[in-house]
């Protein structure tokens, strides 16, 4: 083969690689969006008090929205064209009106730390770490309509799927407060493992599982009536708890086990273990419960796991320190907020493989997706 043939072959390979890359990008986007309809990811940047709006069709940042100091717990409202979150440093909830980027601030309490919606999105519940309380906001009027006292340093709030209860994890006194969802009156206070830092509720609202930030204990609560059923030794401290959509399994991501521990929610026993990597910090499960994606913040990658076969399918690089991830609405792309490299990694699920990195603000630590 002469030098001209080598050049022609090299050019052909370059063209094929370019075409393949373009196809990957196209396949990672929604195939059809009606005119005037937008698909955005919203990334909360804890380091500079902003939210970055990323267009998921063009894969580019389109707006930087100042919301206030230490934004956290970002959520897309289930029915309204709004993005909600808290400003821990400012003492308020902020609401971004998605079509315009306009921000509304709702004063709530000292150090709001976590936000969660009621099942149909009528109310937003906020855990206030600085005032040992929880407040409820009417999402339509944006007014505080109820408040309740809880334990010391509440850091997580969750509404039960049946709409009856609000559960609050109190970090400093190692308890779960169970409140009436309508009035926020206390129903019970249940002791759990030290420094509860993760909380999931089964779809039928029968049980809750609570992870500990300092021990390997996962506490199991019955909700009606509220009581501690058992504590499970999961092998390591909890970074995150993920729930299979049908409620049959809970997955414990731990820096100590370097993987995920599978808990059977029927028997309240450890069922299996899958090694993932250095420090799986957060993750997401697909709607059909077949796959789990975990952000490994020490290794700078996202790991894909087949849950049926308990095997790692592959991984994709993200940046320096991925700390939060979310699936696109069609679940064909995965989004990982990287607090070390200040970007949003866009990952195609097939493979998985990295499509692109989109620069965002400083120290992004949570992400939500909204179609509007």
Out of 2-11, 45-54, 195-204, 360-369, least confident range: 2-11
Q: What is the mean pLDDT of residues 321-336?
A: 94
C-alpha span between 229 and 205 (Å, rounded): 15
- Look at the block and give the residue holding tokens 């890359």: 21
pLDDT tens profile 62-91? 999 999 999 999 999 999 999 999 999 999
For residue 147, the number of C-alpha atoms closer than 13 Å in the C-beta half-sphere is 10
The whole model's pTM is what?
0.90
Mean pLDDT to the nearest integer, 260-285: 95
- The predicted pLDDT at position 112 comes to 97
Q: What was the pLDDT predicted at 34?
A: 74
Nearest Cα to Cα of residue 115 among 83, 152, 163: 83
The pLDDT tens digits of the residues spanning 225-272 come to: 999 999 999 999 999 999 999 999 999 999 999 999 999 999 999 999
Residue of 221, 278, 216, 228 whose CA lies nearest to 252: 216
Of the CA atoms within 13 Å of residue 346, those in its CB half-sphere come to 26
Cβ 276 vs Cβ 303: under 8 Å: yes
**Residue 211: which of 139, 286, 290, 158 has the closest Cα?**
158
Query: Cα–chain-centroid distance for residue 327?
Result: 9
């Amino acid at each position: 083969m002469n030098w001209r043939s080598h050049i022609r072959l090299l050019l052909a390979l370059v063209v094929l690689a370019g075409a393949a890359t373009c196809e990957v990008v196209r396949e990672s986007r929604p195939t059809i969006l009606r005119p005037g309809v937008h698909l955005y990811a919203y990334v909360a940047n804890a380091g500079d008090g902003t939210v970055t709006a990323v267009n998921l069709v063009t894969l580019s940042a389109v707006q930087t929205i100042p919301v206030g100091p230490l934004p956290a717990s970002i959520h897309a409202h289930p029915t309204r064209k709004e993005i909600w979150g808290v400003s821990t440093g400012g003492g308020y909830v902020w609401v971004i009106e998605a079509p315009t980027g306009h921000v509304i601030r709702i004063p709530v309490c000292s150090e709001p730390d976590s936000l969660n919606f009621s099942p149909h999105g009528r109310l937003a519940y906020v855990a206030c770490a600085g005032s040992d309380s929880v407040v409820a906001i009417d999402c339509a009027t944006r007014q505080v309509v109820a408040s309740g006292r809880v334990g010391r340093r509440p850091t997580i709030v969750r509404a039960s799927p049946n709409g009856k209860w609000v559960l609050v994890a109190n970090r400093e006194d190692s308890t779960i407060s169970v409140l009436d969802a309508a009035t926020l009156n206390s129903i019970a206070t249940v002791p759990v493992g030290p420094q509860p830092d993760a909380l999931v509720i089964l779809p039928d609202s029968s049980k809750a599982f609570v992870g500990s930030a300092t021990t390997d204990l996962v506490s199991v609560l019955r909700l009606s009536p509220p009581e501690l059923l058992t504590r499970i030794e999961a092998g390591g401290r909890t970074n995150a708890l993920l729930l299979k959509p049908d409620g049959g399994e809970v997955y414990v991501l731990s820096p100590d086990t370097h993987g995920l521990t599978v808990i059977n929610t029927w028997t309240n026993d450890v069922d299996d273990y899958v090694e993932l990597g250095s420090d799986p910090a957060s993750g997401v499960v697909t709607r059909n419960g077949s796959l789990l994606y975990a952000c490994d913040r020490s290794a700078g990658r996202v790991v894909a796991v087949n849950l049926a076969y308990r095997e790692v399918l592959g991984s994709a690089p993200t940046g320096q320190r991925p700390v939060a991830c979310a699936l696109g609405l069609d679940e064909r792309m995965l989004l990982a907020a990287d607090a070390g490299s200040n970007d949003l990694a866009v990952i195609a699920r097939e493979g998985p493989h990295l499509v692109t990195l989109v620069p965002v603000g400083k120290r992004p630590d949570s992400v939500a997706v909204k179609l509007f």
